[in-house]
Amino acid sequence: MYKVYGDIQSGNCYKIKLLMSFLEIEHEWVAVDILSGETHTDEFKKINPNTRIPVLVLTDGSYLTESNAILNYLAEGTDFLPSDRYQRALVLQWQFFEQYSHEPYIATARFIRKYLGLPKDREAEYQAKQAGGHKALSVMETQLRQSPFLIGDVPTIADISLYAYTHVSHEGGFDLDNYPSIQKWLLAIEQQRNYLGMNA
Amino acid sequence: MYKVYGDIQSGNCYKIKLLMSFLEIEHEWVAVDILSGETHTDEFKKINPNTRIPVLVLTDGSYLTESNAILNYLAEGTDFLPSDRYQRALVLQWQFFEQYSHEPYIATARFIRKYLGLPKDREAEYQAKQAGGHKALSVMETQLRQSPFLIGDVPTIADISLYAYTHVSHEGGFDLDNYPSIQKWLLAIEQQRNYLGMNA
Protein backbone atom coordinates (compact mmCIF):
# COMPACT_ATOMS: atom_id res chain seq x y z
CA MET A 1 0.00 0.00 0.00
CA TYR A 2 1.19 3.53 -0.76
CA LYS A 3 2.19 5.78 2.10
CA VAL A 4 1.95 9.58 1.84
CA TYR A 5 3.69 12.07 4.12
CA GLY A 6 1.58 15.21 3.99
CA ASP A 7 -0.52 17.96 5.52
CA ILE A 8 -4.04 18.12 4.09
CA GLN A 9 -4.17 21.92 4.54
CA SER A 10 -1.21 22.27 2.16
CA GLY A 11 -2.54 22.52 -1.38
CA ASN A 12 0.46 20.58 -2.66
CA CYS A 13 -0.44 17.66 -0.39
CA TYR A 14 -4.19 17.99 -0.97
CA LYS A 15 -3.56 17.44 -4.72
CA ILE A 16 -2.41 13.90 -3.93
CA LYS A 17 -5.32 13.22 -1.56
CA LEU A 18 -7.80 14.45 -4.20
CA LEU A 19 -6.38 12.34 -7.05
CA MET A 20 -6.22 9.30 -4.77
CA SER A 21 -9.88 9.85 -3.92
CA PHE A 22 -10.88 10.21 -7.59
CA LEU A 23 -8.96 7.03 -8.45
CA GLU A 24 -9.95 5.20 -5.24
CA ILE A 25 -6.31 4.43 -4.40
CA GLU A 26 -5.88 2.96 -0.93
CA HIS A 27 -3.09 4.54 1.08
CA GLU A 28 -1.78 5.35 4.50
CA TRP A 29 -1.61 9.09 5.26
CA VAL A 30 1.15 10.18 7.64
CA ALA A 31 0.39 13.66 8.97
CA VAL A 32 3.42 15.97 9.00
CA ASP A 33 3.30 19.38 10.66
CA ILE A 34 5.37 21.91 8.68
CA LEU A 35 4.85 24.75 11.14
CA SER A 36 6.43 22.82 14.01
CA GLY A 37 9.47 21.99 11.84
CA GLU A 38 8.77 18.30 11.30
CA THR A 39 10.21 18.40 7.74
CA HIS A 40 13.53 19.71 9.06
CA THR A 41 14.45 16.81 11.37
CA ASP A 42 17.46 14.63 10.46
CA GLU A 43 15.07 11.70 10.10
CA PHE A 44 12.89 13.54 7.59
CA LYS A 45 15.90 14.78 5.62
CA LYS A 46 16.68 11.15 4.81
CA ILE A 47 13.26 10.92 3.18
CA ASN A 48 13.51 14.27 1.38
CA PRO A 49 16.73 16.32 1.66
CA ASN A 50 14.74 19.24 0.21
CA THR A 51 12.68 19.22 3.48
CA ARG A 52 9.32 19.46 1.78
CA ILE A 53 6.04 17.52 1.65
CA PRO A 54 4.28 15.68 0.07
CA VAL A 55 6.38 12.54 -0.23
CA LEU A 56 5.00 9.33 -1.75
CA VAL A 57 6.41 6.02 -0.55
CA LEU A 58 5.95 3.22 -3.06
CA THR A 59 5.25 -0.38 -2.02
CA ASP A 60 8.94 -1.24 -2.52
CA GLY A 61 9.99 1.58 -0.20
CA SER A 62 11.17 4.00 -2.92
CA TYR A 63 10.46 7.67 -2.40
CA LEU A 64 9.00 10.20 -4.79
CA THR A 65 8.77 13.92 -4.04
CA GLU A 66 7.26 16.99 -5.73
CA SER A 67 3.46 17.01 -5.82
CA ASN A 68 3.14 17.22 -9.59
CA ALA A 69 5.64 14.40 -10.21
CA ILE A 70 3.61 12.25 -7.80
CA LEU A 71 0.38 13.08 -9.67
CA ASN A 72 1.96 12.02 -12.96
CA TYR A 73 3.15 8.77 -11.43
CA LEU A 74 -0.25 7.90 -9.92
CA ALA A 75 -2.32 8.97 -12.93
CA GLU A 76 -0.37 6.97 -15.52
CA GLY A 77 -2.78 4.77 -17.49
CA THR A 78 -5.92 6.52 -16.16
CA ASP A 79 -8.27 9.10 -17.71
CA PHE A 80 -6.54 11.81 -15.65
CA LEU A 81 -3.41 11.61 -17.84
CA PRO A 82 -3.93 11.52 -21.62
CA SER A 83 -1.84 9.15 -23.71
CA ASP A 84 -1.40 11.58 -26.62
CA ARG A 85 2.11 13.06 -26.67
CA TYR A 86 1.07 16.70 -27.17
CA GLN A 87 -1.74 16.50 -24.61
CA ARG A 88 0.64 15.00 -22.05
CA ALA A 89 3.02 17.89 -22.67
CA LEU A 90 0.14 20.35 -22.17
CA VAL A 91 -0.59 18.71 -18.80
CA LEU A 92 3.04 19.34 -17.83
CA GLN A 93 2.90 22.89 -19.24
CA TRP A 94 0.05 23.74 -16.85
CA GLN A 95 1.72 21.97 -13.94
CA PHE A 96 5.00 23.88 -14.42
CA PHE A 97 2.95 27.07 -14.79
CA GLU A 98 1.32 26.18 -11.47
CA GLN A 99 4.61 25.75 -9.62
CA TYR A 100 6.34 28.80 -11.09
CA SER A 101 3.65 31.37 -11.86
CA HIS A 102 0.70 30.49 -9.59
CA GLU A 103 1.78 28.78 -6.35
CA PRO A 104 4.54 31.25 -5.36
CA TYR A 105 1.94 34.05 -5.44
CA ILE A 106 -1.41 32.57 -4.46
CA ALA A 107 -0.23 29.88 -2.03
CA THR A 108 2.32 32.19 -0.42
CA ALA A 109 -0.22 35.00 0.06
CA ARG A 110 -2.60 32.44 1.61
CA PHE A 111 0.16 31.18 3.91
CA ILE A 112 1.05 34.69 5.10
CA ARG A 113 -2.59 35.58 5.73
CA LYS A 114 -4.14 32.31 6.96
CA TYR A 115 -1.26 30.70 8.86
CA LEU A 116 0.82 33.66 9.96
CA GLY A 117 -2.13 36.03 10.51
CA LEU A 118 -0.74 38.70 8.16
CA PRO A 119 1.93 40.12 10.51
CA LYS A 120 3.15 43.69 9.94
CA ASP A 121 6.60 42.61 8.72
CA ARG A 122 5.13 40.42 5.97
CA GLU A 123 2.49 42.91 4.78
CA ALA A 124 4.60 44.37 1.94
CA GLU A 125 5.40 40.87 0.69
CA TYR A 126 1.72 39.91 0.91
CA GLN A 127 0.71 42.95 -1.13
CA ALA A 128 3.47 42.27 -3.68
CA LYS A 129 2.02 38.79 -4.27
CA GLN A 130 -1.34 40.10 -5.44
CA ALA A 131 -0.34 41.22 -8.97
CA GLY A 132 1.40 37.92 -9.78
CA GLY A 133 -1.57 35.96 -8.47
CA HIS A 134 -4.01 37.91 -10.61
CA LYS A 135 -1.78 37.46 -13.66
CA ALA A 136 -1.87 33.68 -13.12
CA LEU A 137 -5.65 33.73 -12.70
CA SER A 138 -5.99 35.75 -15.94
CA VAL A 139 -3.93 33.18 -17.85
CA MET A 140 -6.21 30.42 -16.51
CA GLU A 141 -9.36 32.42 -17.31
CA THR A 142 -8.17 32.90 -20.92
CA GLN A 143 -7.83 29.12 -21.35
CA LEU A 144 -11.04 28.23 -19.49
CA ARG A 145 -13.04 30.53 -21.75
CA GLN A 146 -12.01 28.19 -24.57
CA SER A 147 -12.40 24.77 -22.94
CA PRO A 148 -14.26 23.55 -19.83
CA PHE A 149 -11.08 22.00 -18.40
CA LEU A 150 -7.49 23.11 -18.94
CA ILE A 151 -6.66 20.54 -21.62
CA GLY A 152 -10.11 20.04 -23.13
CA ASP A 153 -13.43 18.41 -22.26
CA VAL A 154 -12.38 16.15 -19.40
CA PRO A 155 -10.47 16.80 -16.17
CA THR A 156 -6.80 15.83 -15.99
CA ILE A 157 -4.16 16.10 -13.29
CA ALA A 158 -3.43 19.61 -14.66
CA ASP A 159 -6.85 20.63 -13.32
CA ILE A 160 -6.16 18.96 -9.98
CA SER A 161 -2.82 20.80 -9.70
CA LEU A 162 -4.39 24.18 -10.33
CA TYR A 163 -7.58 23.50 -8.39
CA ALA A 164 -5.65 22.93 -5.16
CA TYR A 165 -4.70 26.54 -4.44
CA THR A 166 -7.21 28.27 -6.74
CA HIS A 167 -10.24 27.04 -4.80
CA VAL A 168 -8.85 28.55 -1.59
CA SER A 169 -7.39 31.65 -3.24
CA HIS A 170 -9.82 33.87 -1.27
CA GLU A 171 -7.81 32.87 1.82
CA GLY A 172 -4.91 34.70 0.16
CA GLY A 173 -7.04 37.76 -0.58
CA PHE A 174 -7.92 36.89 -4.20
CA ASP A 175 -11.47 37.69 -5.26
CA LEU A 176 -12.67 35.48 -8.14
CA ASP A 177 -15.58 37.76 -9.16
CA ASN A 178 -13.81 38.78 -12.35
CA TYR A 179 -13.04 35.20 -13.37
CA PRO A 180 -16.40 33.62 -14.31
CA SER A 181 -14.83 30.76 -16.27
CA ILE A 182 -12.64 29.83 -13.31
CA GLN A 183 -15.70 29.79 -11.05
CA LYS A 184 -17.54 27.48 -13.45
CA TRP A 185 -14.48 25.22 -13.66
CA LEU A 186 -14.18 25.00 -9.85
CA LEU A 187 -17.80 23.83 -9.68
CA ALA A 188 -17.25 21.31 -12.50
CA ILE A 189 -14.36 19.75 -10.56
CA GLU A 190 -16.41 19.65 -7.35
CA GLN A 191 -19.13 17.74 -9.22
CA GLN A 192 -16.79 14.92 -10.24
CA ARG A 193 -17.46 11.48 -8.75
CA ASN A 194 -15.46 10.86 -5.54
CA TYR A 195 -14.57 14.54 -5.12
CA LEU A 196 -13.07 15.21 -1.70
CA GLY A 197 -12.86 18.65 -0.07
CA MET A 198 -9.74 20.00 1.61
CA ASN A 199 -11.42 19.85 5.01
CA ALA A 200 -12.95 16.41 4.55
CA MET B 1 10.21 22.07 -38.87
CA TYR B 2 9.98 23.16 -35.24
CA LYS B 3 10.20 26.84 -34.39
CA VAL B 4 11.49 28.05 -31.01
CA TYR B 5 10.99 31.53 -29.58
CA GLY B 6 13.85 32.06 -27.17
CA ASP B 7 16.91 33.87 -25.85
CA ILE B 8 20.00 31.67 -25.69
CA GLN B 9 21.31 33.53 -22.62
CA SER B 10 18.21 32.47 -20.69
CA GLY B 11 18.89 29.10 -19.09
CA ASN B 12 15.27 28.08 -19.64
CA CYS B 13 15.69 28.63 -23.39
CA TYR B 14 19.19 27.16 -23.53
CA LYS B 15 17.76 23.87 -22.17
CA ILE B 16 15.79 23.48 -25.40
CA LYS B 17 18.76 24.42 -27.60
CA LEU B 18 20.97 21.90 -25.78
CA LEU B 19 18.51 18.99 -26.05
CA MET B 20 17.89 19.81 -29.72
CA SER B 21 21.64 19.71 -30.29
CA PHE B 22 22.01 16.36 -28.47
CA LEU B 23 19.13 14.91 -30.51
CA GLU B 24 20.10 16.70 -33.76
CA ILE B 25 16.63 18.17 -34.14
CA GLU B 26 16.42 20.73 -36.94
CA HIS B 27 14.61 23.91 -35.96
CA GLU B 28 14.23 27.62 -36.59
CA TRP B 29 15.31 29.80 -33.65
CA VAL B 30 13.46 33.10 -33.30
CA ALA B 31 15.43 35.42 -31.01
CA VAL B 32 13.25 37.23 -28.47
CA ASP B 33 14.64 40.01 -26.28
CA ILE B 34 13.07 39.90 -22.80
CA LEU B 35 14.84 43.01 -21.55
CA SER B 36 13.31 45.19 -24.26
CA GLY B 37 9.83 43.89 -23.43
CA GLU B 38 9.31 41.72 -26.52
CA THR B 39 7.36 39.10 -24.54
CA HIS B 40 4.85 41.72 -23.42
CA THR B 41 3.55 42.85 -26.83
CA ASP B 42 -0.08 42.05 -27.76
CA GLU B 43 1.25 39.89 -30.57
CA PHE B 44 3.39 37.79 -28.21
CA LYS B 45 0.56 37.45 -25.68
CA LYS B 46 -1.39 35.53 -28.34
CA ILE B 47 1.49 33.03 -28.40
CA ASN B 48 1.90 32.89 -24.63
CA PRO B 49 -0.48 34.87 -22.41
CA ASN B 50 1.97 34.19 -19.55
CA THR B 51 4.49 36.42 -21.44
CA ARG B 52 7.44 34.06 -21.07
CA ILE B 53 9.93 32.22 -23.27
CA PRO B 54 10.76 29.62 -24.47
CA VAL B 55 7.81 28.71 -26.70
CA LEU B 56 7.91 25.71 -29.04
CA VAL B 57 5.82 25.86 -32.21
CA LEU B 58 5.00 22.42 -33.58
CA THR B 59 4.79 21.69 -37.30
CA ASP B 60 0.97 21.98 -37.17
CA GLY B 61 1.25 25.44 -35.59
CA SER B 62 0.35 24.37 -32.03
CA TYR B 63 2.16 26.09 -29.19
CA LEU B 64 3.84 24.57 -26.16
CA THR B 65 5.29 26.66 -23.31
CA GLU B 66 7.29 25.95 -20.13
CA SER B 67 10.85 24.78 -20.78
CA ASN B 68 10.52 21.48 -18.92
CA ALA B 69 7.25 20.56 -20.63
CA ILE B 70 8.97 21.21 -23.97
CA LEU B 71 11.90 18.98 -22.98
CA ASN B 72 9.52 16.14 -22.11
CA TYR B 73 7.74 16.54 -25.44
CA LEU B 74 10.93 16.51 -27.49
CA ALA B 75 12.65 13.72 -25.55
CA GLU B 76 9.76 11.24 -25.76
CA GLY B 77 11.02 7.96 -27.21
CA THR B 78 14.72 8.90 -26.87
CA ASP B 79 17.40 7.89 -24.35
CA PHE B 80 16.95 11.25 -22.61
CA LEU B 81 13.56 10.18 -21.21
CA PRO B 82 13.34 6.70 -19.65
CA SER B 83 10.29 4.55 -20.37
CA ASP B 84 10.07 3.11 -16.84
CA ARG B 85 7.19 4.68 -14.90
CA TYR B 86 9.14 5.39 -11.70
CA GLN B 87 12.17 6.73 -13.55
CA ARG B 88 9.97 9.07 -15.60
CA ALA B 89 8.47 10.33 -12.36
CA LEU B 90 11.97 10.92 -10.98
CA VAL B 91 12.80 12.99 -14.08
CA LEU B 92 9.76 15.14 -13.31
CA GLN B 93 10.66 15.27 -9.61
CA TRP B 94 14.00 16.88 -10.49
CA GLN B 95 12.45 19.20 -13.04
CA PHE B 96 9.84 20.48 -10.58
CA PHE B 97 12.62 20.83 -8.01
CA GLU B 98 14.49 22.90 -10.59
CA GLN B 99 11.61 25.30 -11.22
CA TYR B 100 10.61 25.73 -7.58
CA SER B 101 13.74 25.29 -5.47
CA HIS B 102 16.65 26.06 -7.82
CA GLU B 103 15.73 28.52 -10.60
CA PRO B 104 14.05 31.16 -8.38
CA TYR B 105 17.30 31.46 -6.39
CA ILE B 106 20.18 30.75 -8.75
CA ALA B 107 18.72 32.14 -11.98
CA THR B 108 17.29 35.19 -10.25
CA ALA B 109 20.57 35.98 -8.48
CA ARG B 110 22.36 35.63 -11.85
CA PHE B 111 19.83 37.93 -13.51
CA ILE B 112 20.20 40.62 -10.84
CA ARG B 113 23.99 40.47 -11.01
CA LYS B 114 24.73 39.80 -14.68
CA TYR B 115 21.90 41.64 -16.44
CA LEU B 116 21.00 44.39 -13.99
CA GLY B 117 24.55 44.95 -12.71
CA LEU B 118 23.59 44.37 -9.06
CA PRO B 119 21.93 47.75 -8.42
CA LYS B 120 21.70 49.02 -4.84
CA ASP B 121 17.93 48.54 -4.59
CA ARG B 122 18.19 44.83 -5.50
CA GLU B 123 21.17 44.03 -3.27
CA ALA B 124 19.11 42.76 -0.31
CA GLU B 125 17.10 40.51 -2.66
CA TYR B 126 20.34 39.25 -4.25
CA GLN B 127 21.80 38.39 -0.85
CA ALA B 128 18.55 36.71 0.22
CA LYS B 129 18.80 34.38 -2.80
CA GLN B 130 22.13 32.92 -1.73
CA ALA B 131 20.87 30.59 1.04
CA GLY B 132 18.14 29.07 -1.13
CA GLY B 133 20.59 28.56 -3.99
CA HIS B 134 23.06 26.75 -1.76
CA LYS B 135 20.29 24.58 -0.33
CA ALA B 136 19.37 23.52 -3.89
CA LEU B 137 23.03 22.81 -4.72
CA SER B 138 23.33 20.69 -1.55
CA VAL B 139 20.31 18.61 -2.53
CA MET B 140 21.89 18.01 -5.95
CA GLU B 141 25.29 17.19 -4.42
CA THR B 142 23.64 14.59 -2.14
CA GLN B 143 22.16 12.82 -5.16
CA LEU B 144 25.24 13.14 -7.38
CA ARG B 145 27.37 11.51 -4.70
CA GLN B 146 25.22 8.41 -5.25
CA SER B 147 24.89 8.36 -9.05
CA PRO B 148 26.84 10.04 -11.88
CA PHE B 149 23.67 11.60 -13.31
CA LEU B 150 20.52 12.61 -11.45
CA ILE B 151 18.49 9.50 -12.29
CA GLY B 152 21.32 6.98 -12.69
CA ASP B 153 24.12 6.12 -15.08
CA VAL B 154 22.99 8.03 -18.18
CA PRO B 155 21.99 11.64 -18.74
CA THR B 156 18.29 12.48 -18.99
CA ILE B 157 16.37 15.71 -19.51
CA ALA B 158 16.47 16.11 -15.70
CA ASP B 159 20.22 16.70 -16.05
CA ILE B 160 19.69 19.15 -18.91
CA SER B 161 17.14 21.09 -16.83
CA LEU B 162 19.49 21.43 -13.89
CA TYR B 163 22.64 21.90 -15.95
CA ALA B 164 21.24 25.06 -17.57
CA TYR B 165 21.53 27.39 -14.59
CA THR B 166 23.97 25.36 -12.49
CA HIS B 167 26.82 25.69 -14.99
CA VAL B 168 26.52 29.48 -14.90
CA SER B 169 25.75 29.70 -11.18
CA HIS B 170 29.03 31.60 -10.59
CA GLU B 171 27.41 34.46 -12.52
CA GLY B 172 24.91 34.59 -9.64
CA GLY B 173 27.67 34.54 -7.03
CA PHE B 174 27.60 30.80 -6.29
CA ASP B 175 30.97 29.16 -5.74
CA LEU B 176 30.94 25.43 -6.56
CA ASP B 177 34.14 24.60 -4.63
CA ASN B 178 32.18 22.75 -1.96
CA TYR B 179 30.27 20.65 -4.47
CA PRO B 180 32.77 18.23 -6.03
CA SER B 181 30.11 15.84 -7.32
CA ILE B 182 28.33 18.68 -9.10
CA GLN B 183 31.61 19.75 -10.72
CA LYS B 184 32.22 16.20 -11.96
CA TRP B 185 28.65 16.01 -13.27
CA LEU B 186 29.01 19.33 -15.16
CA LEU B 187 32.09 17.95 -16.92
CA ALA B 188 30.34 14.67 -17.72
CA ILE B 189 27.53 16.57 -19.44
CA GLU B 190 30.00 18.72 -21.37
CA GLN B 191 31.65 15.56 -22.65
CA GLN B 192 28.45 14.23 -24.24
CA ARG B 193 28.35 13.97 -28.02
CA ASN B 194 26.88 17.10 -29.69
CA TYR B 195 27.19 19.17 -26.51
CA LEU B 196 26.58 22.85 -27.22
CA GLY B 197 27.67 25.71 -24.93
CA MET B 198 25.46 28.61 -23.96
CA ASN B 199 27.61 31.01 -25.93
CA ALA B 200 27.92 28.80 -29.00
In a domain? residue B80: no
- Residues A175, A107, single domain; the answer is yes
Choose the final residue of a domain: A54, A75, A96.
A75
B96 vs A95: CB contact, 8 Å cut-off?
yes
B64 vs A99: CB contact, 8 Å cut-off?
no
Among the partner-chain residues A50, A73, A95, the one whose CB lies closest to the CB of B85 is A73
DSSP annotation string for A30-96: EE--TTTTGGGSHHHHHH-TT--S-EEE-TTS-EEESHHHHHHHHHTTSTTS-SSHHHHHHHHHHHH
- Residues B114, B140, single domain; the answer is yes
Taking CB atoms and an 8 Å cutoff, what residues of chain B touch A89? 64, 69-70, 72-73
- The SS3 call for residue A3 is strand
**Model pLDDT for residues B83-121, shown as the tens digit of each residue:** 999 999 999 999 999 999 999 999 999 999 999 999 999
Mean pLDDT, chain A, whole residue set: 96
Measured between CA atoms, how close is A194 to chain B, in angstroms? 25
Measured between CA atoms, how close is A96 to chain B, in angstroms? 6
* DSSP 8-state code for residue A175: -
**Mutation site, A73, A92, A101, interface B, largest B CB count within 10 A:** A92
- Residues A71, A109, single domain; the answer is no
- Residues A55, A26, single domain; the answer is yes
Give the count of domains, chain A: 2
In a domain? residue B59: yes
- Residues B9, B60, single domain; the answer is yes
Range of the domain at B114: 85-190
In a domain? residue B119: yes
- Residues A52, A139, single domain; the answer is no
| pLDDT computed for residue B35 by the predictor | 84
Among the partner-chain residues A70, A89, A142, the one whose CB lies closest to the CB of B72 is A89
**Model pLDDT for residues A167-185, shown as the tens digit of each residue:** 999 999 999 999 999 999 9
CATH code (residue A183): 1.20.1050.10
Give mean pLDDT, residues A92-116: 97
- Residues B146, B167, single domain; the answer is yes
- Residues B101, B121, single domain; the answer is yes
- Residues A101, A23, single domain; the answer is no
Give mean pLDDT, residues A29-40: 91
ipTM: 0.96
Q: Return the residue of A nearest to B59 by Cα.
A: A86
- Residues A117, A168, single domain; the answer is yes
- Residues A95, A185, single domain; the answer is yes
- Residues B119, B172, single domain; the answer is yes
Q: Model confidence at A34, in pLDDT bands (50, 70, 90)? A: confident
Alpha-carbon distance of A160 to A193, in angstroms, equals 14
Taking CB atoms and an 8 Å cutoff, what residues of chain B touch A66? 92-93, 96-97, 100
pTM: 0.97
Choose the final residue of a domain: A75, A100, A127.
A75
Q: What percent of chain A has pLDDT over 90?
A: 94
In a domain? residue A80: no
Among the partner-chain residues B64, B92, B101, the one whose CB lies closest to the CB of A72 is B92
In a domain? residue B196: no
| pLDDT computed for residue A35 by the predictor | 84
Give mean pLDDT, residues A143-158: 98
A93 vs B65: CB contact, 8 Å cut-off?
yes
**Model pLDDT for residues B134-170, shown as the tens digit of each residue:** 999 999 999 999 999 999 999 999 999 999 999 999 9
Choose the final residue of a domain: A47, A75, A103.
A75
Q: Return the residue of A nearest to B101 by Cα.
A: A50
